[in-house]
Chains A and B, each alone.
Chain A
Amino acid sequence: MGGPLALLLVCFLVYPVGQLLLLSVQNDSGFTLAQYRQLFASSVYVDVLLITLKISLVTTLVCVVTGYPIAYLISIVGKDRKARLLFFVLLSFWTSFLVRAFAWVVLLGRNGVINKLLLSLGIVSTPASLLYNFGSVLVGMVNALLPLAVLTMLSVMENIDRNLPRAAATLGAGPGMAFWKIYFPLSLPGVAAAGIMVFVTAIGFFIVPALLGGRRETMITQLIIDQIQQTMNWGFAGAISVLLLLVVLVVFAAYDRLLGLSTMTGAATARKAVPSRLSGPIQKGGDTLLTLLGSLFDGIIDLLPSRKRDRNPDQPGLGLQMFVWAMLLVISLPTLLMIPLSFGNGGLNWPPQGFTLHWYETVLVSPLWTQALLRSLMVGIGTGLLAMLVGTPAAFLLVRSEIPGKAAWLAFILSPIVVPRMIIAVGLFYVFARIGLVGSAFGLILGHTVVAVPYVVMTMMAVLRNYDTRLDLAAQSLGARPFATLRHITFPILGAGMMSSFLFAFATSFDELTIALFATGGLNATLPKQFWDEVTLQVSPVIAAVSTCLFVFMGLLIFVAEHLRRRAAAR
């Protein structure tokens, strides 16, 4: 049952990436290290690598530190408030990276909201240049990856038994102590998982540095794009890819040594939460630090007027709530501001002036945009179907039967998430070029399925794990034949879960740029590709109009997916 999936991954992940790596050590006459000599000949490429690492590290740090309180608050508040908070995180998560990065370009521009605000407050007298520097890249990166960090940490925090901190309180620990000595260590696997997910994604990023960064914020994936798009230098692109892949592997190896990779996947995390492989001294030092933090916070709490101290320990503090809402505002506002701008006729300057539907009209009558939309829809639906077709049986296999090497299979299936997307994209381009799939919708569907299928397998596995097979037996004992059981019981109950994993795959494809960048071959652009081509050419209100459409479309999708998910979970 896992056959089709394995075949897909071998043909369109392992083989292309392997080819690319091979190309880096091959020339016409055989084995060569020339590409690597060139790579290290000047400091240019090493510098880019260092910058990439620096941006990724700082992004990771900021995402984890600011994401932690957000995830924490979401994990402790009641159902309704949780839904509200989660909606904003999800909205941001699902909004295209392109749309979000573009929004910051507009926001931070010379005539953008921020500059207008600074001018009116008299903080600056002439518009400050806020774009194309390290700061703007960092803001864009954090906005792009914060939702991922929050969602990753949340999945661990939700599994932490809320009674443990309470138990600690009954044992004499103050709120600070209970948090730092009990809750925090239990949530660490989530922090670690979020850290590595954000770091690995950041290191393969190119949209944000390309749109928001200057020459000094060039990241390593941008070099790969240049090599392919400008000089078709496969060998050198391969060499850079090897470098990138090595860095990722080193990061994973370090993570595995410190925490064990098993902490990354699934619910096992919360149970055996305490990082096991931290060796003696580190652990001891960490323990002392946590005790110190705990007593420090309890000390501060003791200093507060007693009325405040007596509040229900489960009630989040006002400060925490304000911080979280502020952060959610920061990550949602830029895209929301696109909406009024897209209806204005004053260009992208703030405040918007007048009201016009001109930009929407431009989009609708342009064959470039409409064809891109159609193609994206088609590829998205194709990807959703193919990913379900190969992913669902594999999920069944992984959940319902005992196969040897389950963990290894799972790691293999999830590998498209951790291999930098750019490497997959370039490898696929090379392979597609040789078998004539460049520019075809089918090729895109294959490529997108490779990166979407891990999500399908994971959600379907979760859905199947929750499915009580005794219901099938009950139906049979009540007289339902196998097909009737499938039709009346199994399918209706799994249906919502299947629909939401289809939507997940669809959305992944609909927003996919990296693979589309090459595999469309300059023709037959998808929506993100068209967006990218336009936005790198010029920043125009047309883009704001497209952004608004995408935003609304994605908002609807999340709404539907969430609705389905909740209907499934309510049982």
Chain B
Amino acid sequence: MVPSSLRISKLSKRFGDFVALAPTSLDVGKGEFLTLLGPSGSGKTTLLSLIAGLARPDEGRILIDDADVTHSPAYERDIGVVFQNYALFPHMSVEDNIAFPLKMRKMSDAEARKRTMEALETVRLPHVAKRYPRELSGGQQQRIALARCIVYRPAIILMDEPLGALDKKLRDQMQLEIKRIHRELRTTIVYVTHDQEEAMTMSDRICLMNSGTIEQLGTPEDLYFRPRSVFVADFLGESNLLSATVRDVDADGLDIVLTHQQAGSRAVGNGARFTAGEPIKVMVRPQNLHVESATTGAGGLTGRLVDVMISGSLTRLYIAPETAGLPQLVAAYPTRSSLVPHEIGQLVSVGWNPSDAVAIGDSGGH
């Protein structure tokens, strides 16, 4: 187990009566890239500012490298923050911006200049040193904000939606850049985004938040393939969710009864404990749904093709099940010129491999 760099225990924050962060505990390992993911208003920024010391928690403790910093002001924590709007100082040149934290740490001018240039090299912008922030493009400002943060080598870097303002292409490029810098410096990074793809590509672990609580914490695979709740399943990519009841639980998985057809089937667990008779949801990811042309009267689950959408490398098929009360289903195939049924209105049968069906507790929660 990697030693933890940041440890949060039972941290909470209220604004008046409103609970922005319910008591939350979280461990971040040394050198880990942890992403806080969640819908708008779920408390990501709140948690981040508590860690940075820019807001005071109501309860709980924060430890950085095992030192309690709960009550230390921001400027005494060994933390770097990259703000969403970059927060570059408009009256200082790029160079002065980057040297600012070094100056605050009373570093000698020569050393500061050397480190500043190194940081600029790292973000690959050595030629803009003399410019002012307003003379930079959005992507460049972003990198300077990053440089200003890495220059004093803080133990932890916090980033609040650093790529939010950039266009798609630049965002992809910056994602790679941030990953590269993370690899090179091995700093612990806590990264905030509400873009699930970004979270999946970049993180060692994802902490999915919802209305001030942690919904699930785990690797991207964990969250994608073994979501603990319907909310998680929905938030990370598309999913098909069908109601079912647990009949039996064994070592390999669960025996279930799918509500819509009263037929027995199998599903794998998501790590949670299930009991016989419990109502659950069964999740099948679109790429695991098999769709075939069918004739009327065919057994199993059938439906009509209502829409076919090609988005780049994937083709999505939307299917309206013939059984009443079932939600619309979606299947995804690699885009090819033929192969899958594609005529709108066509009758199709839908199936899946039991090992691709994941049981999720239907606690009625979110």
**Footprint of B on A, CB under 8 Å?**
468, 470-471, 473-481, 484, 488-489, 492-493, 570-571
Contact = CB atoms under 8 A, between A and B. Distances in A.
Contact of A479 (B49, B83, B89, B101): B101
A477 B79 contact: yes
A480 B104 contact: yes
B74, B101, B152 interface centre (most CB from chain A within 10 Å): B74
B85 A470 contact: yes
B100 A475 contact: yes
Contacts of A489: 89
B91 interface: yes
A440 to B, nearest CB: 40
Contacts of B80: 477-478
B168 to A, nearest CB: 25
Given A470-B83, A474-B81, A480 B91 contact: no
Q: Which of A468, A479, A481 has the most chain B CB within a 10 Å cutoff? A: A479
Nearest to B87: A474
A476 B87 contact: no
B90 A479 contact: no
A90 to B, nearest CB: 25
A230 to B, nearest CB: 56
B180 interface: no
A477 B101 CA distance: 9
Given A473-B54, A481-B104, 18 more contacts: A470-B85, A471-B87, A473-B87, A476-B54, A477-B52, A477-B53, A477-B75, A478-B100, A478-B148, A478-B152, A479-B105, A480-B75, A480-B100, A481-B73, A481-B75, A492-B91, A493-B89, A571-B90
A477 B48 CA distance: 12
A16 to B, nearest CB: 42
A476 B83 CA distance: 12
A345 B209 CA distance: 84
B296 to A, nearest CB: 52
A471 B100 CA distance: 13
B124 interface: no
Contacts of B105: 479
B71 interface: no
Contacts of B91: 492-493, 571
Contacts of B81: 473-474, 477
A473 B90 contact: no
B134 interface: yes
Contacts of B85: 468, 470
26 contacts: A468-B85, A470-B85, A470-B87, A471-B87, A471-B90, A473-B49, A473-B74, A473-B83, A473-B87, A474-B87, A476-B54, A476-B73, A476-B74, A477-B74, A477-B80, A478-B75, A478-B80, A478-B100, A478-B148, A479-B75, A479-B104, A479-B105, A479-B152, A481-B75, A481-B104, A571-B91
A482 to B, nearest CB: 8
Interface in B101-150: 101, 104-105, 134, 148
Interface of B: 49, 52-54, 73-75, 79-81, 83, 85, 87, 89-91, 100-101, 104-105, 134, 148, 152
B82 to A, nearest CB: 9
Nearest to B77: A477
A470 B90 CA distance: 12
A488 B103 CA distance: 11
Nearest to B90: A571
B73 to A, nearest CB: 7
A204 B25 CA distance: 68
- Nearest 10 A/B pairs, CB to CB: A474-B87, A571-B90, A478-B101, A479-B104, A476-B74, A477-B81, A479-B75, A470-B87, A473-B54, A480-B104
B243 to A, nearest CB: 46
Choose among A476, A488, A493, A570 the residue with the greatest number of B CB atoms under 10 Å from its CB: A476
A570 to B, nearest CB: 7
Contacts of B75: 476-481
Max count, chain A CB within 10 A of own CB: residue among B75, B80, B85, B152:
B75
Contacts of A473: 49, 54, 74, 81, 83, 87
Contacts of B89: 471, 474-475, 489, 493
A570 B87 CA distance: 16
A493 B91 CA distance: 7
B69 to A, nearest CB: 13
A491 to B, nearest CB: 10
B104 A474 contact: no
A480 B103 CA distance: 9
A493 B90 CA distance: 8
A275 to B, nearest CB: 36
Contacts of B104: 478-481, 484
Residue from the set B87, B90, B105, B148 with the largest chain A CB neighbour count within 10 Å:
B87
Contacts of B49: 473
A570 B134 contact: yes
A315 to B, nearest CB: 28
Contacts of A484: 104
A564 to B, nearest CB: 13
A480 B87 CA distance: 14
Specify which of B53, B81, B91 lies most central, judged by the most chain A CB atoms within 10 Å of its CB.
B91
Nearest to B80: A477
Contacts of A477: 52-54, 74-75, 79-81
Contact of A571 (B54, B101, B134, B148): B134
A484 B134 CA distance: 23
A455 to B, nearest CB: 25
B244 to A, nearest CB: 48
A468 B86 CA distance: 11
A484 B102 CA distance: 13
Contacts of B90: 471, 493, 571
A468 B87 contact: yes
Contacts of A470: 83, 85, 87
A523 B351 CA distance: 102
A474 B85 CA distance: 11
Nearest to A474: B87
B254 to A, nearest CB: 48
Interface centre among A477, A478, A484, by most chain B C-beta atoms within 10 angstroms, is A478
A136 B134 CA distance: 50
Contact of A474 (B53, B73, B83): B83
Contacts of B52: 477
Contacts of A476: 53-54, 73-75
A489 B100 CA distance: 10
Contacts of B54: 473, 476-477
B188 to A, nearest CB: 15
Nearest to A488: B100
Contacts of B73: 476, 481
Contacts of A480: 75, 100, 104
A129 B167 CA distance: 71
A553 to B, nearest CB: 29
A493 B133 CA distance: 14
A404 B101 CA distance: 39
Contacts of A488: 100
A483 to B, nearest CB: 11
A434 B129 CA distance: 64
A474 B133 CA distance: 15
A472 to B, nearest CB: 9
A492 B90 CA distance: 10
Nearest to A477: B81
- Most-contacted residue by chain A among B79, B85, B100, B152 (CB, 10 A): B100
A493 B80 CA distance: 22
